[in-house]
Structure 1
Amino acid sequence: MAAPSHPTPAAAVALPPVLEKLEAGVVRVVEFAAGGLVVVEVAVLLAGVLARYVWGAPLTWSDELASMLFLWLSMLGAVLAFQRGQHMRMGALADAAPPRVRSRLELAALVTCLALTVILLPYAFEYAVDEIIVITPALEVSVAWRAAGLPIGLALILFFGLMRAARLGQPRDVLVAVAVAVAVVAAGMAAKPLILALGNWNLVLFFVLFVATGVLSGVPIAFVFGLAALSYVALGTGRPLTVIAGRLDEGMSHLLLLAVPLFVLLGMLMELTGMARAMVGFLAALLGHVRGGLSYVLVAAMYLVSGISGSKTADMAAVAPALFPEMKKRGAKEGDLVALLAATGAQTETIPPSLVLITIGSVTSVSIASLFIGGLLPAFVCGLALCALVWWRYRNEDLSGVRRATRGEISKALLLAVPALILPLIIRTAVVEGVATATEVSTIGIAYSVLVGIFIYREFDLRRLLRMLVDTAALSGAILFIIAAATAVAWCLTQSGFSRALATAMGNLPGGAPVFMGVSVITFVVLGSVLEGIPAVVLFAPLVFPIAKALGIHEVHYAMVIILSMGVGLFIPPFGVGYYAACAIGRVDPTKGIRPLWGYMGALILGLALVAAVPWISIGFL
């Protein structure tokens, strides 16, 4: 499992029986609701596909209902992740501290999370009330039914946080921590005139110093991002705090992101039905005798499935559950696995039908067909760089206990794996041919997996299904809450005017195209770590593409460079959200993957440098 966000100290005490029963009852209700929402989302989206292409009568309300329920699924999943201690955190410094210091850091992390919920809760409620007058076009119901999920989810997080605080059995320490938090808030409010006088330099205060301190102290990443955005709006602007609630809503209710929990569920179903075992069995028979063989398979698998869902997180969720168990059996370290998974996520950002490519085409008027053609080879070059590092790292791997499979065994494994290997082809074909959207296609995969598991592999344990649905909601909630908080941070950077000022500075650089390209790489690596791909593209592409064209840089070539740069930034800690998503999917402590990740990122940067230096890699087939 990933590192708990609030590890329970050894000195924890039991709650009174009435509180224990109350907490257990609330947990059961939340689990039932979250698991039920996963089922409903699958049913609604699958019904939309069937109605459109089988019955010829599209359901005009299916996407709208799925979007409204998605916020509830995201928040209830985030609640479960909090209750279980599964929100991502960087615990390296906190875990290495002496026991007394570590317990105080854990208490500080808990109080920080409670501070965010206490401050934001009334504004989330106000935001939900404001949405009452907004009516949806298809269902003709108030949007408040969706927005209400935000304050209710925050209230549940507050409830479980208070239960955790009560278990500490240290009321004096808790009161001191709360008093310190109140004093910090009061000091910030008193210093608001000074902070406002800093202008855009306050971005460094909130989004560099504050975020770095919180993350390195072991506070859950999502809560650090959320509190940084909240603090910036409260102390660095004159805007109401309801805008943060709105940005969280936006970050957790975008229908595209619904692919995340659905592909998480698809990955779990592949394991439950035996599809993953059959697929890995064939791949192991084919490449198991090669040093680092399954690592090559991971790189290739991410290349093949990338772009199917439109979300790097969903792509990783589709691949990792199928490969990680067998790789661990063969002695691979958790940290190395999650580091390679994150690196392949960054590597495949340019593979069509990537939404980042589509977004660039839409905001810059560059041909989307040209972007699709140009995106395949840059990702392949970066993949080769990763494979070269895999070869180096595993060149001395001991394979004395591994027997090379015969041709007959490989053929038998292939025959058994064909139903599982067809799944990626079905998913990609459905997207490319327009049968289903990037979100809907995951439901086709889920339905296919259930049918194959029941009728072909004959493995479908209903007793595990409910727990699987709850686990899907909790894991997805941990991922989506980080994305939502990052969306709030992105909005803050946009509203500050930072994006336009940065583009102006880049346009005035001396040295021509090479210097501009080098600065673009560095800039978009940094932007990718805090904005992700699509927000950064929407903000900056219309500003920098004319500069690149004026300097003689081909637009498709420049697009590939900045997309790969943002991909590297998205997966580089301590700010890169993608890395923590990879850790959550792989259920690995983020601290275990940091060291091997730098090697893979170094290989990616070499591949990126080659793509930037050789335009033919991007435009040679246009």
Structure 2
Amino acid sequence: MLVTLLFTTFAVCLVLGVPIGISLGLAAAVYLVGADIDLSVVPQFMFAGMDSFVLLCIPGFVLAGNLMNGGGITDQIVRFGNAVVGHIRGGLGLANVLGSMIFAGISGTAVAETASIGSVMIPAMRKSGYDAPFAAAVTAAASTVGPIIPPSVPMIIVGTLTGLSVGKMFLAGAVPGLLLGLGMMLTVYILSRKRGYPKGAWGGVRHVLATSRGALWALLMTGVILFGIVGGFFTPTEASIISALYAFVVGLFIYKGFKLTHLPNILLESAIGSGALILLVGLANVFGWILTSEQIPQMIADAMLSLTTNKYVIILLINILLLIVGTFMETIAALIILIPPLLAVAVKVGIDPIHFATFAVLNLMIGLTTPPVGVCLFVAANIAKVSLAAVSRAILPFLVCNILILFIVSYIPEVSLWLPSIFYK
């Protein structure tokens, strides 16, 4: 009865448009009152969920992304992407995806990527003759690359929950992220040829080299983070602080996109964004504790294992479950609630934990662009000034592409485990 009340309250809050973190907190509070449990457990479990050294990565990487974006990195990345692929049919769409792949090494979050790249690319694509829903769909779909190519905030959360190496997970996401980006570029090209979308003029190798100088600093940032973590020079948390310092120096002295007077606003924006994420982690931990006390995760695991112990069927069931959950639940909350029980199932049937973490995160990233509650769809539709329904229809070919890549990553472990096996022998 109380479990039904818990999920009903949560569902009603979501339908009413209450933010996901508050929905989790309200549902947990209603359950605790109904169960006559002292509400003092709420701050205790919130603090327990937030009291993690690894979670300190989040403010660092969020600040680094805002500093690089405020420093003019988005324009530099878009200019480089357009110089490389702009002369091909559908060139601006291809540049949009390529820009997201480069920007992924900075933001680590899909929503930030949609907003940053979309604010530049969607108006430019509309002006060049692309349909507005298509421009929004490309931007939203490409943003899912952000949390797969390192650094990745969701993978940091998974590392916090499970004790898995964040460095290994960062490396595991690199190849799937590249496959995801290349698959979407192929989709853009096919649709562009079919619909007759425009192409730009080839500016020559010199133009590519000239624009690459701006994008180079973004690529170097990703290299510094990965090399430092994998080489054992610093922890993921220390890497986030180093990346923020790097972004500050590059944005202020090289790109010269912001002044010291802009710094307070950037710090405030980063604090608000980080605070919202970490508050969500804390409230989701309270919700997760209730589920654990009611043995819901164990019931999920037992139900799956009662159906089959075949590894490949279990992978299919996990994918279906996470794809469905991703359509209506925020990524961080879904990770906190579902990753521990699903990881237990995966390990029991012989799935490598790093492999599982990679395709689980990829699953939930696809959910960010899946109707009806895909957050990135809302952001892209708002920038393009089109209806959510129009963007939802336009994104279908990209969803098919991304789900195909998901199944490649899910059923060929070497795609995600190859790089970690090289660097972590």
Question: Which amino acid is the alignment partner of residue 606 of structure 1?
Answer: L
Question: Take 1:369 and 1:264, find their aligned partners in 2: how far apart are those partners?
Answer: 18
Once the two structures are TM-superposed, the CA of residue 250 in structure 1 deviates from its matched residue by 4.1
> Secondary structure of 2:307's partner?
coil
Offset at residue 410 of structure 1 (A):
2.0
Query: Is the aligned partner of 1:324 residue 2:109?
Result: no
| Correspondences of 1:469-484 after superposition (within 5 Å) | 469-484=267-282
Instruction: Determine the C-alpha separation between the residues in 2 that align with 1:609 and 1:390.
Output: 20
Counterpart for residue 100 of structure 1: none
Determine the structure 1 residue equivalent to 2:95.
294
Q: 2:232 is paired with a residue of what secondary structure?
A: coil
For residue 140 of structure 2, what is the aligned residue in structure 1?
339
Deviations 1:344-372 (A, max 9, x none): 25655999995477579857xxx999978
Instruction: Spell out, residue by residue over 1:75-109, the C-alpha distance to the aligned partner (whole angstroms, 9 max, x if none).
Output: xxxxxxxxxxxxxxxxxxxxxxxxxxxxxxxxxxx
Match of 1:206 in 2: 6
Mapped partners of 2:386, 2:23: distance in 1: 16
Match of 1:503 among 301, 310, 331: 301
Change (3 A) 1:453 1:213: closer
Q: What corresponds to 1:456 in structure 2?
A: 254
Structure 2 counterpart of 1:234, from 33, 46, 65: 33
Q: Determine the C-alpha separation between the residues in 1 that align with 2:265 and 2:341.
A: 41
Establish whether residue 243 from structure 1 lines up as the match of residue 41 from structure 2: yes
Distance in 2 between the 1:375 and 1:221 partners? 26
What is the match of residue 18 of structure 2?
219
> Cα offset for 1:421?
3.9
Q: CA deviation at 1:458?
A: 4.2
SS in 2 for 1:450: helix
Q: 1:371 to 1:222 in 2, by over 3 A?
A: closer
- Structure 1 residues 361 and 263 mapped into 2: Cα distance closer, same or farther (>3 Å)? closer
Tell me the distance in 2 between the aligned counterparts of 1:454 and 1:620. 37
1:390 maps onto 2:170 in alignment: no
1:495 Cα deviation after fit: 1.9
Report the alpha carbon displacement of residue 286 of structure 1 after superposing the two structures with TM.
1.6
Q: Tell me the equivalent position of 1:21.
A: none
* One-letter amino acid of the structure 2 residue matched with residue 493 of structure 1: L
Q: CA offsets, 1:5-50, max 9 Å, x none?
A: xxxxxxxxxxxxxxxxxxxxxxxxxxxxxxxxxxxxxxxxxxxxxx
Contact 1:262/1:443 (8 A) holds in 2: yes
Could you tell me whether the CA contact under 8 Å between 1:346 and 1:568 is conserved in 2?
Answer: no
How many pairs are equivalent?
402
- In the alignment, structure 1 segments of 5+ residues that lack a partner are 1-197
Q: Is the 8 A contact 1:381 1:607 kept in 2?
A: yes
Paired position in structure 2 for 1:491: 289
Listed as ranges, the matches of 1:536-575 within 5 Å are: 536-546=338-348, 548-549=349-350, 561-568=359-366
Deviations 1:113-140 (A, max 9, x none): xxxxxxxxxxxxxxxxxxxxxxxxxxxx
Per the alignment, residue 279 of structure 1 pairs with 77
**Contact (CA 8 Å) 1:341, 1:582: kept in 2 or not?**
no
Contact kept in structure 1, 2:9 and 2:26, CA below 8 Å: no
Q: 8 Å contact 2:83–2:202 — kept in the other structure?
A: yes
What does residue 516 of structure 1 align with?
Answer: 314
- Bigger Rg, which one: 1
Call closer, same or farther: CA 1:294–1:452 in 2, change over 3 Å.
same
Structure 1 equivalent of residue 129 of structure 2: none
Matched to 1:536, the amino acid is L
Which residue of structure 2 aligns with residue 20 of structure 1? none
How well do the aligned residues superpose, as a CA RMSD in angstroms? 4.3
CA distance in 2, matches of 1:459, 1:511: 55
Whole-angstrom distance in 2 between the partners of 1:351 and 1:420? 15
Q: For 1:427 and 1:554, locate their aligned partners in 2 and report how far apart those are by CA, in whole Å.
A: 24
The answer (yes or no) to whether the contact 1:340–1:600 under 8 Å persists in 2 is: yes
CA distance in 1, matches of 2:231, 2:223: 12
Q: TM-score, normalised by structure 1?
A: 0.54
- Aligned partners of 1:527 and 1:536 also within 8 Å: no
CA distance in 2: counterparts of 1:280 and 1:393, whole angstroms:
21
String of CA shifts for 1:545-604, please: whole Å, max 9, x gaps. 22x13xxx67776565545445545775667xxx54896799869974655555544432
What is the CA–CA distance in structure 2 between the aligned matches of 1:371 and 1:255, rounded to whole Å? 17
Question: Where do residues 130-209 of structure 1 align in structure 2 (5 Å cutoff)?
Answer: 198=1, 202-207=2-7, 209=8
Shift of 1:420: 4.5
> Aligned pair 1:603/2:401, yes or no?
yes
Separation in structure 2 between the aligned mates of residue 570 and residue 239 of structure 1, nearest angstrom: 35
Letter in 1 for 2:10: V
Pick which of 342-351 and 293-302 moved more. Answer: 342-351
Q: 1:440 aligns with which of 200, 224, 238?
A: 238
Unaligned runs of 5+ in 2: 127-131
Q: CA deviation at 1:499?
A: 0.9
What does residue 176 of structure 1 align with? none
Residue type of the alignment partner of 1:326: V
- Whether contact under 8 Å (1:583, 1:590) holds in the other structure is no
TM-score by length of 2: 0.74
Considering Cα pairs closer than 8 Å and 6+ residues apart, tell me whether 1 or 2 has the greater RCO: 2
Change (3 A) 1:246 1:581: farther
- Answer yes or no: is 1:532 the counterpart of 2:326: no
Shift of 1:343: 2.8
1:93 alignment partner in structure 2: none
User: Following TM superposition, by how much is the alpha carbon of 1:502 offset from its aligned partner in structure 2, in angstroms?
Assistant: 1.6
How far is the alpha carbon of 1:407 from its aligned partner?
Answer: 2.1
Q: Is the 8 A contact 1:226 1:485 kept in 2?
A: yes
The answer as to whether partners of 2:100 and 2:117 remain within 8 angstroms in 1 is no
The whole-number CA distance in structure 1 between the counterparts of 2:257 and 2:346 is 53
Asked if the contact 1:271/1:321 (under 8 Å) is kept, the reply is: no
Question: Taking structure 1 as reference, are residues 248 and 415 closer, same or farther at Cα in structure 2, changes over 3 Å only?
Answer: same
Higher mean Cα deviation, 284-293 or 326-335? 326-335
Q: 1:279 to 1:221 in 2, by over 3 A?
A: same
